[in-house]
Structure 1
Amino acid sequence: MTDLDQRIASVLRERAEGEIDTHRLLRASRAQGRRRQLRRRAVTGGALALVGVLGFMGVAGTELPGLPGRLPWTAATPTVAPAVPPRVDGVAGAAQRPDLVGTDPAVLHLGVDTTKASYLGWAVKGFGVETVRIEVGGGQPVTVDVARTVEVFDGLGIEGFPIDAVPTRRAFDGTVRQVRGTTGGLIMSWQPAAGVYARAAMLGGDRAALARAVDALRWDEARRCGTPLRLGTLPTDATVGGCSVDVSAFPGTINAELTLYRGRSATMYVRLQYAAQMVGVRADGNRTVGSRPAYLYPDGGKLELLGIPKVHLVADFGWPAQGFTEADAATALAGARVADDLTRPESWD
């Protein structure tokens, strides 16, 4: 458990009254975790390790919590084409079918003109939001959130922004606003089509770069929320409600996550973390999933499937994501399939 998780747990135990919207709490917690990840990436570059709830930063020789030994690294990274989510033929984009936005955890109803911008990541979140992170040439990343209603933006944080600095609903009129509490942070909210609401945000104050990023968006196509991870079996009554991929350090590292829901509050994250420079395969587990070694972390809330070269594959069902069990995690991991070539996103489906 991270220090953030511990603080959340402590406050909730002290002040628990009535029902808690756990999905909203988890979104805020994970948003803060992603902000810490960005700060660490500026220091550590493309190296990868597991920190807390399996953060994505690290250095050579980092030990995996609870497991003996060290992770050696090599220096070479292959040269490959930039990562692009595969196109979905026969599915309308947001401009043609705004009612489809955020309804399918496997599909993004927008794309990016890759002659104008590069993908850094993409996601479909379990509360009706589709997201792309893009970069327009040496500038700050731009995060674009898309939804069918303005209400979805209430409490929806932005990676890298202070939570209390992000405005809730504003006029979606295309005005670019500077965000208090940031150094030049900009937000633009607009309607790219009837029934579609979009918000673009960047930490830097380059309005021209923000305009170029918005211009690179394509609303007449659909893209797969492609990940190198597929779950062949799910726990009883569970559904995949969210998909997230980070390719900001591609092809050196890839971070993917599938979010499983059961009912209104049970949540489990299945995370794949790939590092091209990592060598050696762990096989010293304390559990068995199917016929393969696995490791249950000391906190009892994370189960890792071992033996996959260059990959950590973990099901996180611990606090605050309660509602699933170790047996559920084992079921999800037993049917997990990892792409043969993680550097070819077109093959992930």
Structure 2
Amino acid sequence: MGYDVEESLVATLRRRAEHEVDMVALLDGAVRRGRRRQRGRRVAKALGGAGVAGVTTVALLAGPLAVGDRGPAGPPYPVPRVADPTAGGATVHPGQVGKDPTIIHFGLDELDLPVRQATWGVRPDGLEHMYLEFAAAPDRVRTVDLLLARGTVPLPERQGLDSISERPARVGGRPGTHTLLGQGGTATVDELRWSPVGGVEAVLVSDGVGWEDTLAIAEAVRFDRATRCATPAQVTVLPAGATLRGCRIGPALSGSATFSTVVLTIGDGTAEIEVVAGNDLARAEKSSPTPEPVDGGRAGWYPESSMLVIYDLDGLFIRIVTHPGYGRAEAELVAGGLRRPATADPDRPETWSTALIG
């Protein structure tokens, strides 16, 4: 089955960067959860009238960045899509939403908005998601979170924000609800909930984007197509009882380069381990504390962060992040079974494999 780069999150790259991107910091699970808490505090502070600190590890764009589909005649993209008509989107297979961690049942039309980081995937809890971060003033970060699920999407974390108003809305001709969130009567958070197809619900939460752009983004989400996760490194050995439970993939910008990263989540329902791989990830420096060498120095175990770093897997730099329930033994087990497919070029995500478990 051949690759089709039609499905994309980043199309036109017009950028001048001020800072470097650490894709692992953006995408690995522990940091992602910390960022969510940080963002919640940032939203609360912004709505209370306080200043907001910018994210200094992410490039600030000077011009707009189009994201979405440009079709097979367009330029190459950092996020691949496999042409597989059997996958279909949520409108084709609504009962499959969230069931397969390798398939995201939606796509995105082109948007003329300054996107500087994008992530989408399937979470271990069965929610399909997309996260967008937009360039803004240095003291402001604007974000969009989209969640898709069979049945009802659980109420997103509102971080102590109050519902200021609620009104009917329509997305793609289908009825929904628009809720304004904030503190002290001031609102910058929009929450839009609707059902794009029977039996499936979507929730889009935007921070600092504004209602007009929030609705435009919701209208740009396409539920008649599917996107497959892809990886430059296959996992061939799993801990006992573990399966692939989630996958997320996304590009970000650093200087004049685009970095694409995939995070594979493996677990047994009680414990999780994440494999983070991509093209030229920000390298872990061998600083204090010194990592404990593994496999003759080919890898290093960082006890304080419960993380195993593989410095060179046939040209790939990989982090294996463990969470409570798994530790160094499981990380080394997974590391020992990692392989890079011969056709996978770290700098060309369109060559990555959709066979995530080899």
1:42 paired with 2:51, answer no
| Structure 1 CA distance for aligned equivalents of residues 346 and 219 of structure 2 | 30
| Structure 2 CA distance for aligned equivalents of residues 276 and 97 of structure 1 | 35
Q: Which has the higher helix share?
A: 1
| TM-score (norm: length of structure 1) | 0.66
| Structure 2 CA distance for aligned equivalents of residues 314 and 276 of structure 1 | 9
| Structure 2 CA distance for aligned equivalents of residues 222 and 130 of structure 1 | 11
The match for 1:5 is none
1:187 paired with 2:191, answer yes
Higher mean alpha-carbon deviation, 267-276 vs 133-142, is at 133-142
Instruction: Report if aligned partners of 1:107, 1:222 keep a CA contact under 8 Å in 2.
Output: yes
| Structure 1 residue runs without a partner (length 5+) | 1-25, 48-79
| Structure 1 CA distance for aligned equivalents of residues 80 and 110 of structure 2 | 11
The match for 1:83 is 78
| Structure 1 CA distance for aligned equivalents of residues 239 and 326 of structure 2 | 9
The match for 1:17 is none
The match for 1:64 is none
The match for 2:147 is 145
* Correspondence for 1:212 among 193, 212, 216: 216
| Structure 2 CA distance for aligned equivalents of residues 200 and 166 of structure 1 | 17
Higher mean alpha-carbon deviation, 37-46 vs 332-341, is at 37-46
1:136-175 alignment, distance < 5 Å: 140-150=142-152, 152-154=153-155, 156-157=156-157, 163-165=159-161, 173-175=175-177
1:43 Cα deviation from its structure 2 partner: 2.1
1:315 paired with 2:320, answer yes
The match for 1:93 is 89
| Aligned CA distance change for structure 1 residues 41 and 293 (closer, same or farther; 3 Å) | farther
Structure 1 SS opposite 2:303: coil
| Structure 1 CA distance for aligned equivalents of residues 262 and 351 of structure 2 | 15
Instruction: Report if aligned partners of 2:231, 2:277 keep a CA contact under 8 Å in 1.
Output: no
Structure 1 SS opposite 2:188: coil
The match for 2:127 is 129
| Aligned CA distance change for structure 1 residues 175 and 123 (closer, same or farther; 3 Å) | same
| Aligned CA distance change for structure 1 residues 214 and 307 (closer, same or farther; 3 Å) | same
| TM-score (norm: length of structure 2) | 0.64
Instruction: Report if aligned partners of 1:277, 1:310 keep a CA contact under 8 Å in 2.
Output: no
Structure 1 SS opposite 2:81: coil
* Correspondence for 1:272 among 269, 274, 277: 277
| Structure 2 CA distance for aligned equivalents of residues 34 and 309 of structure 1 | 33
| Aligned CA distance change for structure 1 residues 164 and 86 (closer, same or farther; 3 Å) | same
CA deviation vs aligned residue, 1:56-75 (integer Å, no higher than 9, x gap): xxxxxxxxxxxxxxxxxxxx
Structure 1 SS opposite 2:176: coil
The match for 1:50 is none
Instruction: Report if aligned partners of 1:246, 1:255 keep a CA contact under 8 Å in 2.
Output: yes
| Structure 1 CA distance for aligned equivalents of residues 327 and 320 of structure 2 | 10
Structure 2 SS opposite 1:122: strand
1:217 Cα deviation from its structure 2 partner: 1.1
| Structure 2 CA distance for aligned equivalents of residues 87 and 247 of structure 1 | 17
Instruction: Report if aligned partners of 1:116, 1:216 keep a CA contact under 8 Å in 2.
Output: no
| Structure 1 CA distance for aligned equivalents of residues 271 and 205 of structure 2 | 30
The match for 1:336 is 338
Identity %: 24
1:244 paired with 2:241, answer no
Structure 2 SS opposite 1:184: strand
1:258-269 alignment, distance < 5 Å: 258-262=264-268, 264-269=269-274
| Structure 2 CA distance for aligned equivalents of residues 27 and 163 of structure 1 | 19
Structure 1 SS opposite 2:34: helix
| Aligned CA distance change for structure 1 residues 342 and 307 (closer, same or farther; 3 Å) | closer
1:211 Cα deviation from its structure 2 partner: 1.6
Instruction: Report if aligned partners of 2:280, 2:347 keep a CA contact under 8 Å in 1.
Output: no
| Structure 1 CA distance for aligned equivalents of residues 87 and 97 of structure 2 | 11
Instruction: Report if aligned partners of 2:78, 2:258 keep a CA contact under 8 Å in 1.
Output: no
Q: Which has the higher strand share?
A: 2
The match for 1:104 is 100
| Structure 1 CA distance for aligned equivalents of residues 245 and 262 of structure 2 | 14
Structure 1 SS opposite 2:182: coil
| Aligned CA distance change for structure 1 residues 41 and 335 (closer, same or farther; 3 Å) | farther
The match for 2:9 is none
| Aligned CA distance change for structure 1 residues 132 and 267 (closer, same or farther; 3 Å) | same
| Structure 2 CA distance for aligned equivalents of residues 331 and 277 of structure 1 | 24
1:191 Cα deviation from its structure 2 partner: 0.5
